[in-house]
Amino acid sequence: MPGNTFGTLFRVTTWGESHGPALGAIIDGCPPNLSLTEKDIQNELDRRKPGQNDVGTARKEGDKVKILSGIFNGKTLGTPISLIIENKDQRSRDYSKIKDLYRPGHADYSFDLKYGVRDYRGGGRSSGRETVGRVMAGAIAKKYLKQGWKTEITGYTTQVGPIKAQKFEKSFIEKSSLRCADPNQSKKMEEYVLGAKKDGDSVGGIAEFRVKNTPPALGEPVFDKLQADLGKALFSIATVKGVEFGKGFESALLKGSENNDELTTKAGQITTKTNNAGGIYGGISIGTDLILKTAIKPASSIIKKQQSVNNKGKSVDVQVEGRHDACILPRFIPVAESMIALVLIDHALRQRALEDNN
């Protein structure tokens, strides 16, 4: 069963190879009458684009979205929204050196194993470039959530290699080259990344996400619990190696009496005193903040020499040429925010179907 569609009621299908003529996304199920322009989408795309600073790749991709369907007179029609980005910069390079080679950490071998064929130019479908489709769809989801519930999804880097953020200045996030909310530590993180880059290496890290004004009552037990669909959404991004909600792995150390979030009433509204759970109980949001963290592996593409094999199983040395992201975290954050938004809007529509408004 093919795996390029995400969501059930707000359904996103993405397509495109890294070096093909174009990449795109279809959104089927966006409710009608939402105001939507290319600029709404472009803003989020620009947060993801390469070449923003030194920690990322120096490649410039002038990713410009075009809306091909589903919008009329500035409003969504309720029909499929087709979004496309043309690949401007398809230089005809010589790929003969890499086409038979399996790069460590990449999907080269696994794609050959699975499909018996692969577009080896820039990773083809397994390239991180695939995530443009997610970001474009996520931009629409974010707009809808903001309009309906004032929902706000904020991601930021909390750790790069061994360096951890120590404070949270929200307004600094988009100024930091690493989308870190701590100005001091952001600087140290940047130095750490540039050091690795100089060595032809890459670094991993951790990002945290908080959702304010989460729509309440989202999540469908027993299998489509909100954390289950968020977990899937985040692990579907190739670079993610760990996901945790609320106290996460730390909750293994706690007693029930320390970890349970006691309930209370604030301004006539039931809520919790603490938020160790990350905002989800029995798989369902209650309107408190969602809190989750993701661990990101160091990017697989490094210039440092590594050993590997080719498609005949023969030993080869590999040096991945090109302009790579030494730390993918700042560009990962808008992608992950998009996936979170897609899960929330999908569940918000699912919840509506249950509600009798007659």
Site for its own copies in 35-64 (CB under 8 A): none
List the one residue out of 345, 231, 238 whose CA is nearest residue 293.
Answer: 231
Both structure tokens of 123: 């990773």
From 90, 152, 217, 289, residue interacting with its own copies (rule: CB under 8 A): 217
Residue 322 in the binding site for its own copies (CB under 8 A): no
Residue 224: CA count within 13 A, CB half-sphere: 13
Pairwise CA distance, residues 153 & 215, whole Å: 12
Choose between 171 and 253: whose C-beta lies nearer to its own copies. Answer: 253
Residue 93 in the binding site for its own copies (CB under 8 A): no
Residues 6+ apart with CB under 8 A from 318: 101, 103, 104, 305, 306, 307, 308
Shortest distance (Å) from residue 153 CB to its own copies: 18
Residue 179 in the binding site for its own copies (CB under 8 A): no
Work out the number of other CB atoms within 10 angstroms of the CB of residue 204. 17
Pairwise CA distance, residues 219 & 65, whole Å: 32
Residue 20 in the binding site for its own copies (CB under 8 A): yes
Which residues, 281 to 300, sit near its own copies by CB under 8 A? 281-286, 295-300
Both structure tokens of 227: 């954390």
From 301, 332, 334, 336, residue interacting with its own copies (rule: CB under 8 A): 301
Choose between 1 and 171: whose C-beta lies nearer to its own copies. Answer: 1
129-to-16, 126, 133, 191, 337 alpha-carbon distances in Å: 9, 8, 9, 26, 16
Residues 6+ apart with CB under 8 A from 258: none
Choose between 194 and 295: whose C-beta lies nearer to its own copies. Answer: 295
Pairwise CA distance, residues 331 & 325, whole Å: 9
Shortest distance (Å) from residue 43 CB to its own copies: 21
Residue 186 in the binding site for its own copies (CB under 8 A): no
Q: Which stretch binds its own copies (CB under 8 A): 39-47, 172-180, 182-190, 236-244?
A: 236-244
From 118, 179, 188, 210, residue interacting with its own copies (rule: CB under 8 A): 118
Q: Binding string, 243-272, against its own copies, x = CB under 8 A? A: xxxxxxxxxxxxxxxxxxxxxxx--xxx-x
Residue 194 in the binding site for its own copies (CB under 8 A): no
Residue 117 in the binding site for its own copies (CB under 8 A): yes
Residues 6+ apart with CB under 8 A from 145: 151, 153, 215, 341, 344, 345, 348
330-to-14, 40, 146, 193, 311 alpha-carbon distances in Å: 22, 20, 22, 12, 34
Q: Binding string, 138-157, against its own copies, x = CB under 8 A? A: ----------x---------
Choose between 238 and 340: whose C-beta lies nearer to its own copies. Answer: 238
Shortest distance (Å) from residue 34 CB to its own copies: 9
From 35, 37, 53, 236, residue interacting with its own copies (rule: CB under 8 A): 236
Both structure tokens of 272: 């919790």
Size of the site for its own copies (CB under 8 A): 158
Pairwise CA distance, residues 2 & 125, whole Å: 13
Q: Which stretch binds its own copies (CB under 8 A): 43-51, 88-96, 175-183, 232-240?
A: 232-240
Choose between 47 and 134: whose C-beta lies nearer to its own copies. Answer: 134
Shortest distance (Å) from residue 356 CB to its own copies: 6
